[in-house]
Chain A
Amino acid sequence: MEKTGPTAVALDDATVAFRLADGRVYTAVEKASLAVAHGEFVAIVGPTGCGKSTLLNVAAGLLRPAGGAVRIFDQPLAGLNRDAGYLFQADALFPWKTAIDNVAIGLEITGTPRVEALARAQKWLGSVGLGAFAGRYPHMLSGGQRKRVALAQVLIRDPKILLMDEPFGPLDAQTRQIMGNLLLELWSADRKAVLFVTHDLEEAIALADRVVIMSAGPSARIIGDWRIALPRPRDISEVRMEKDFHALHREIWSVLKDEVMKGYVQSTQAGAA
Chain B
Amino acid sequence: MSRITLLYLQVLVAVVALVLWQFFTTVPLFGRILLPPFFFSNPVDVFSQIVKWFSTGVIWKHLAITLWESILAFVIGSAGGILVGFWFARQPRVAAVFDPYVKMVNALPRVVLAPIFALWFGLGVWSKVALGVTLVFFIVFFNVYQGVKEVPTTVLDNGRMLGMNERQLMRHVYWPSALSWMFSSLHTSVGFAVVGAVVGEYLGAAAGLGYLIQQAEGVFDVAGVFAGMFVLSAFVLLIDMVVTLVEKRLLVWRPTAVRQD
- A and B bound? yes
Q: Is B255 an interface residue, CB under 8 A from the partner?
A: yes
Interface readout for B150-166 with A: 1 if CB under 8 Å, 0 if not? 00101101111111110
The reply to whether A95 and B172 form a contact with Cβ atoms under 8 Å apart is no
- Answer whether residue B254 sits at the interface, using C-beta atoms and an 8 A cutoff: yes
B37 CB within 8 Å of chain A: no
Main secondary structure of the interface of B (DSSP, over half): helix
Residues of B within 8 A of A68 (CB): none
- Known A-B contacts A94-B176, A96-B180, A109-B163; the reply to A86 vs B158 at CB < 8 A is yes
Q: Pick the residue among B162, B165, B180 that contacts A157 (CB under 8 A).
A: B162
Binds B, one of A18-26, A77-85, A113-121: A77-85
B154 near A106 with CB under 8 A, answer no
Which residue of the partner chain B has the closest CB to A89?
A: B154
> Contact: B161 with A94, CB < 8 Å?
no
Known: A88-B157, A96-B180. A106 touches B163 (CB 8 A): yes
Q: Which residue of A lies closest to B158 (CB)?
A: A92
Question: Given the complex, which residues of B lie within 8 Å of A86, measured CB to CB?
Answer: 157-158, 161
Q: Chain B: which residue is nearest A153 at the CB level?
A: B162
Q: Is the CB of A88 within 8 A of B160?
A: no
Q: Is the CB of B161 within 8 A of A90?
A: no
Whether A139 pairs with B157 at a CB distance below 8 angstroms is: no
- Nearest residue (CB) in B for A84 is B161
B79: CB under 8 A from chain A?
A: no
Q: Closest Cβ of chain B: how far from A130's Cβ, in Å?
A: 17
Chain A interface, number of residues (Cβ within 8 angstroms): 29
For chain B, the bracket of interface size reads 20 to 34
The answer to whether the Cβ of B253 comes within 8 Å of any Cβ in the partner chain is yes
CA distance A86 to B164 in the complex (A): 13
Give the nearest-CB partner of A60 in chain B: B161
Q: A129-154, CB under 8 A of B: which get 1 and which 0?
A: 00000000111100000000000011
Contact (Cβ within 8 A) B154 A90: yes
User: With an 8 A cutoff between CB atoms, is A62 at the interface?
Assistant: yes
Assembly CA distance A105 to B152 (angstroms): 18
Q: What are the nearest 9 A-B pairs in CB distance?
A: A92-B158, A137-B253, A86-B161, A96-B176, A139-B255, A92-B154, A90-B154, A106-B162, A96-B253
User: Which of B160, B163, B164, B252: most chain A Cβ within 10 A?
Assistant: B163
Report whether B155 and A97 are in contact in the complex, using a CB–CB cutoff of 8 Å.
Answer: no
Measured between beta carbons, the chain B residues less than 8 angstroms from A96 are: 176-177, 180, 253
B110-168 CB contacts (< 8 Å) to partner A: 152, 154-155, 157-165, 168
How far is B173's CA from A246's CA once the two chains are assembled, in angstroms?
A: 46
Give every chain B residue within 8 A of A153 (Cβ-Cβ).
Answer: 162
The answer to whether B168 touches A109 (Cβ under 8 A) is yes
With a cutoff of 8 Å between Cβ atoms, the chain B residues found around residue A258 in the complex are none
Q: How far is the CB of B14 from chain A (nearest CB, A)?
A: 38
Q: Is the CB of A82 within 8 A of B157?
A: no
Question: B180 contacts which chain A residues (CB < 8 A)?
Answer: 96
For A85, the chain B residues whose CB sits under 8 A away are 161
Q: Which of A82, A98, A137 contacts B163 (CB 8 A)?
A: A82
CB A89 to nearest CB in B, in angstroms, measures 8
A148 CA to B133 CA, complexed, in Å: 45
CA distance A36 to B164 in the complex (A): 26
Q: Does A91 contact B (CB under 8 A)?
A: yes
A140 to B256 Cα, complex, angstroms: 11
Q: Can you show 30 pairs from A to B with CB atoms below 8 A apart?
A: A60-B161, A62-B161, A81-B161, A84-B161, A85-B161, A86-B157, A90-B152, A91-B154, A92-B152, A92-B155, A93-B158, A94-B159, A94-B173, A94-B176, A95-B253, A96-B177, A96-B180, A97-B172, A97-B253, A98-B253, A105-B162, A106-B162, A106-B163, A109-B162, A109-B168, A137-B252, A139-B254, A139-B255, A140-B258, A153-B162
Residues on A with C-beta less than 8 A from B164 are 109
Decide yes or no whether A110 CB sits under 8 A from chain B: yes
Q: Which residues of A contact B161 (CB under 8 A)?
A: 60, 62, 80-81, 84-86
**List of B residues within 8 angstroms of A93 by Cβ:** 155, 158
Complexed CA–CA distance, A157 and B177 (Å)? 24
Interface string of A55-83 (1 = CB under 8 A from B): 00000101000000000000000001110
Smallest CB separation, B258 vs chain A (Å): 8
* Cα(A93)–Cα(B173), bound, Å: 10
In addition to A96-B176, A97-B172, 7 A-B residue pairs with Cβ atoms within 8 Å of each other are A96-B180, A97-B253, A106-B162, A109-B165, A137-B252, A139-B258, A157-B163
Give every chain B residue within 8 A of A97 (Cβ-Cβ). 172, 253
Q: In the docked arrangement, what's the CA distance between A81 and B173, Å?
A: 20
Closest partner residue, chain B, to A106 (CB atom): B162
- Alpha-carbon distance A81/B161, docked complex (angstroms): 8
